[in-house]
């Protein structure tokens, strides 16, 4: 790699504003991160709707079978499923759609 001696002989103020370039790069990265976060939040919201619908439609026999499987009471299982429908919707979808 060779150095451009013509550029090296220029004072820093004439070479361009490196701080502005860094700020532009950081702003671009923030936009990408925000877009990814919004997309993921939309996916999670959709999963929550599905999980809460499955929880509402779950019959007592299914909840009782899951309670036996996990070794907890039916009331604890319903409480756990209700909580997990919000916090871990993918797991509730897997448990209740099988």
What's the mean pLDDT when you consider all of the chain? 91
Q: What's the pLDDT tens digit per position in 31-68?
A: 999 999 999 999 999 999 999 999 999 999 999 999 99
> What's 4-26 look like in SS3?
CHHHHCCCHHHHCCHHHHHHHHH
C-alpha 74/C-alpha 50 separation (Å) is 22
* Model pLDDT, residue 21: 84
What is this structure's pTM? 0.71
Residue 1 has pLDDT above 60, yes or no: no
DSSP per-residue codes, 34-73:
HHHHHHHHHHHHHHHHHHHHHHHH--HHHHHHHHHHHTS-
What are the sequence ranges of the domains in the chain? 17-97
Candidates 16, 86, 11; CA nearest to 51 is: 86
Q: What's the pLDDT tens digit per position in 10-22?
A: 777 777 777 888 8
């Amino acid at each position: 790699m060779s150095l451009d001696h013509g550029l090296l002989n220029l004072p820093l103020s004439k070479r361009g504003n490196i701080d502005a370039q860094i700020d532009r790069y950081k702003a671009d990265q923030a936009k990408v991160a925000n877009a990814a976060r919004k997309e993921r939040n939309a996916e999670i919201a959709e999963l929550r709707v599905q999980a809460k619908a499955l929880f509402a439609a779950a019959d007592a026999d299914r909840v009782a079978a899951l309670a036996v499987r996990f070794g907890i009471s039916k009331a604890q299982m319903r409480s756990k499923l209700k909580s997990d429908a919000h916090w871990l919707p993918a797991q509730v979808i897997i448990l209740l759609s099988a």
